[in-house]
Amino acid sequence: MAGLDAVVLGGGVIGLTSALTLAEAGVRVECWTAEPPGMTTSRVAGALWAGSPLTSDRDSLSRWARASLGVFRELAADPSSGVRVAHGVVASLRAAGAPAEMFPGVPLHACGPPAGYAEAFELDAPLIDMRRYLEYLQGRLHDAGVGIVQRRVKSLREPASSAPVVVNCTGLGARELVPDSTLEPVRGQHVVVENPGLEDFFMEDRGPEQWACFFPHGRRVVLGGVAQPGAVDPAPDPAVSAGIIARCAAVEPRLAKARVLEEQVGLRPVRPSVRLVAEHRDGAWCLHNYGHGRSGVSLSWGCAAELPGMLAAGDGPR
């Protein structure tokens, strides 16, 4: 594509959303991705909109989450997007009050907790079927004239030779590409089962390493979850899957015998804070947008909305 203004690196939800936001702001952009969007970590997200569990820069995190919430609510009116506003319950083993920071801008109402939980709250929040949603984003990019090129890069100099602006949305790949030693892979695993008739979602805050959650997406239900820092094995662990099913079935017994359709593994790109900054580098104006951990979907539109302004500034690090 001749006359590019920017190259976006990364074909996951952050990269696609960033490319679309820039294109719809009038930027001539191309998206380069090491793997097709349907093969990225984004594909295996649950994906319930919620705030980020990160503790640094809470004001920015809340702003990005709220901005994304508004977009997802609008997208829910389009059945082709894979987004719906679903009813569900968030439960806690400890009585600590409504987790308002986890769902900024969404009302939570106390309800009867499932057996074994100290308290629970019901809410309505966007739930995203990632298989359909990634296809939806690709369709919008196509309509906006944005090409998606499967190309693995070893240096930021490569895209800098094709466009004056490089948008780095490489997730965990930024660990080597930047390089950024603060990025850490955190392994997640899901079990996808045939839906036994569920419409509502469920999630709990059992702890940082394992929890019960299930997200119905039509004929499928995505069960989770775990967080295993430093683990990188892409093969599903049968013991982890068994634990996920057992925890979810304790809340919803119909899941105990649901037919398993797939086991999924993804490596979340975790760092102490989201990196959304700009710098002059390798002859280009480089905008970094990575390190969202397990909140990539939830923060995607809010972070992308900052990019046109960062690009327009163009005169020094932000």
Instruction: Give per-residue pLDDT as tens, 219-268.
Output: 999 999 999 999 999 999 999 999 999 999 999 999 999 999 999 999 99
Taking the C-alpha atoms of 268, 270, 273 and 279 in order, what is their torsion angle to the nearest 10 degrees?
Answer: -80
**How many residues would you count in the chain?**
318
- Looking at residue 263, the DSSP 8-state letter turns out to be E
Residue 163 near residue 113, CB atoms below 8 Å: no
| pLDDT at residue number 206 | 66
What is the reported pTM?
0.95
Query: What CATH number is associated with residue 45?
Result: 3.40.50.720
| pLDDT at residue number 2 | 57
Asked, for residue 318, whether it belongs to a domain, the answer is no
Closest CA to 273 of 180, 202, 188: 180
Asked, for residue 213, whether it belongs to a domain, the answer is yes
Task: Assess whether pLDDT exceeds 60 at residue 1.
Answer: no
Residue 35, helix vs strand vs coil: coil
Number of compact structural domains in the chain: 1
Query: Domain range for residue 292?
Result: 6-313
Asked, for residue 18, whether it belongs to a domain, the answer is yes
| pLDDT at residue number 57 | 87
Asked, for residue 1, whether it belongs to a domain, the answer is no
Distance CA 162, CA 142 (A): 20
The lowest-confidence range among 113-127, 140-154, 198-212, 291-305 is 198-212
Asked, for residue 20, whether it belongs to a domain, the answer is yes
Task: Assess whether pLDDT exceeds 70 at residue 316.
Answer: no
Asked, for residue 212, whether it belongs to a domain, the answer is yes
| pLDDT at residue number 169 | 98
- pLDDT tens for 14-56 read 999 999 999 999 999 999 999 999 999 999 999 999 999 887 8
* pLDDT, mean over the chain: 95
- pLDDT tens for 62-81 read 999 999 999 999 999 999 99
| pLDDT at residue number 318 | 32
Asked, for residue 303, whether it belongs to a domain, the answer is yes
User: Which segments of the chain does DSSP mark as H helices, in order?
Assistant: 13-24, 58-75, 130-143, 157-160, 174-177, 238-251, 296-304, 307-313
Q: Which residues contact 90 (CB under 8 A, 6 or more apart)?
A: 99, 102, 103, 108, 120, 121, 123, 202, 203, 204, 205
| pLDDT at residue number 214 | 98
